[in-house]
Amino acid sequence: MRLAGSLVFDAGALIELVFSTPAGSRLMEQMIEGEIEVHATEVAVVELGYILCRRVGREEAKKRIDKLLASGYVAVEDTSPLMDAASAYKCERAISLPDCFSLALAGRLSVPVLFATREKELVKEMERRPFDVEILFLRDAVRS
């Protein structure tokens, strides 16, 4: 699977970018080449911030996030219009609130959402009942 077009990135996919993992570097190349257009929620950026803070410290986390956002390759979307949809996902599904916001944004934009890994709770919910948005996993795309 080759990623293309507009995608919503969950915090895990943003982490891959910021740490320039092999998968993250591949994503950045596709972003620079204009093959993919990235959207993320404010909540995903907050999640990215605290995960980075725990790994590299607060100052370095802020630098990396500022650099990513200043690049212009990630459109950070306001979460206000997503609150009802995110709340509905959280009510009906046993998944994290940040994941609910990413799914809500994907639904609003009518684009797939990209998660870095197959999170146990998300996969369990997918098996229980399909979601109303397309869900992609970076690990699957990298293997292709």
pLDDT at residue number 141: 75
Kindly indicate the confidence band of residue 139, based on its pLDDT and cuts at 50, 70 and 90. confident
Sign (positive or negative) of CA dihedral 141, 7, 98, 46: positive
What average pLDDT does this structure show over 33-56?
Answer: 96
DSSP character string of 20-32: T-HHHHHHHHHHH
| Architecture label for domain 5-143 | 3-Layer(aba) Sandwich (3.40)
Give the tens place of pLDDT for each residue, 10-32: 999 999 999 999 999 999 999 99
Domain ranges in the chain?
5-143
Lookup: tokens for 140 = 């699957």
pLDDT at 142: 63
Q: Is the pTM of this model over 0.75?
A: yes
